[in-house]
Amino acid sequence: MNQNSYSKQCEKRGTHDLKRRLAILEEIRKIDAEEAFYKKQQIVQKSIIRNKLRRLSGKKGQRAQCRKQKRRKAIERDRKLRPLVEVVPYQMNKQRKKKSVKRYQRRKMRSNPGNS
């Protein structure tokens, strides 16, 4: 009887031990997967930065930067030289275009009365 209870205890201990080991292995797998994902993200970020730097360091990048600076300077120069003029709102401009189109259509109709 003592032998029988001892074997049952061993069986219980064995399954518990096995479950614990499986749980530990699962945790280790999860940690490895997270680390792999994190490393992959780091590698992607580094490659993006490297490509960006490579693009900017080339002649094309230098020319583009130069053009941008020249454009900025030209805009600033224009602002300084241009007298302060009231800016026409977009809606007014749109209405003016509509009126001119209508005027043009009326003129066209008057010049060709037989086409209507």
Tell me the whole-structure pTM to 2 decimals. 0.31
With a CB cutoff of 8 Å and minimum separation 6, the contacts of 109 are 116
Cα–Cα dist 65/74, whole Å: 14
pLDDT digits (tens, 9 = 90+) for 30-69: 888 888 888 888 988 888 888 887 776 777 778 888 899 9
Q: Residues 116, 109: contact at Cβ < 8 Å?
A: yes
Q: Which amino acid is at 95?
A: Q
Residues 101-116 have pLDDT tens digits of: 888 888 888 888 766 5
Task: Quote the CA–CA distance of 55 and 58 in Å, as a whole number.
Answer: 6
Query: Is the pLDDT reported for residue 22 higher than 70?
Result: yes
On the CB side of 90, how many CA atoms lie within 13 Å of its CA? Answer: 0
